[in-house]
Amino acid sequence: MIFLRYETFRGYLRMYPVTVLIIAINIAMFMITMLNGGSNDGETLYRFGAFLQTEDDPYGLDEPWRYVTAIFLHAGFMHLFYNLISLIIFAPPLERLLGHVRYGLFFVVTGVVGNLFSAMFHQGEVLSVGASGAIYGVYGAFLFLSVFGKHRLDEGSRKTVYSILIFGLIYSFLVPTINIWAHIGGGIAGFVLYGWFERKLLRR
């Protein structure tokens, strides 16, 4: 089971520096928003980089950097907590597979695509934050491996991937405050981007 973590704390820090950096940024930004108005306050989240689409700017192109900055913000402690747990467990094997630089690029790109899907399928004024799009990108990468690289994933890991995706998507549809399109967009992006990385690496 590749998702079980056996590393010591020091070993984890040394082996997965990009994952650790992402976790640290998310925690730091959560603390900053908590100290400056609250992590559930829309104005505070917007001030620190939340992704906003409006009737006049439905794709958020007036401030495109928000596609990236919103990935590192969270609305409330439980939102942050569940995303950090997912990162701690599922991100390290992908960082090991892709390498630090490619993994960092993968995380940001899938998060951006998640926000793009949100903009494409939501109407009106929507404020979005969270790393969920990028985390579903990680799930999408492992779905690619589960389908096309079965020899590289044990049966327990494949079942975990299928279960987390099925449960996650059902839960996303049932809870109205969850940005389901960011999850779907991130997952699709992760599936496709990991496949591209695989082909690129195999050609070497």
pTM as predicted: 0.93
- Answer whether residue 92 is part of any domain: yes
Q: Please identify every residue annotated as catalytic.
A: 132, 183
- Answer whether residue 2 is part of any domain: no
- Answer whether residue 1 is part of any domain: no
Q: Are 71 and 134 in contact (CB under 8 A)?
A: yes
Give the CATH number, domain containing residue 174. Answer: 1.20.1540.10
Q: Are 144 and 69 in contact (CB under 8 A)?
A: no
- DSSP one-letter string for 42-80: HHHHHHTT-EEE-SS-TT-TTSTTHHHHGGG--SSHHHH
Could you identify the residue written with the tokens 């090991």?
96
Count how many domains the chain has: 1
- Answer whether residue 121 is part of any domain: yes
- Answer whether residue 141 is part of any domain: yes
Give the residues across from 126 on adjacent strands. Answer: 53
Q: Are 111 and 71 in contact (CB under 8 A)?
A: yes
- What Å distances lie between residue 158 and 95, 105, 165, 166, CA to CA? 18, 24, 11, 12
pLDDT truncated to tens, each residue of the chain (204 aa)?
788 888 899 999 999 999 999 999 999 999 999 999 999 999 999 999 999 999 999 999 999 999 999 999 999 999 999 999 999 999 999 999 999 999 999 999 999 999 999 999 988 899 999 999 999 999 999 999 999 987 788 899 999 999 999 999 898 888 888 899 999 999 999 999 999 998 877 565
- Answer whether residue 4 is part of any domain: no
Q: For residue 68, give its domain range.
A: 9-202
Closest to 141 in 3D by CA, of 84, 105, 193:
193
- What Å distances lie between residue 161 and 80, 86, 167, CA to CA? 21, 12, 10
- Answer whether residue 3 is part of any domain: no
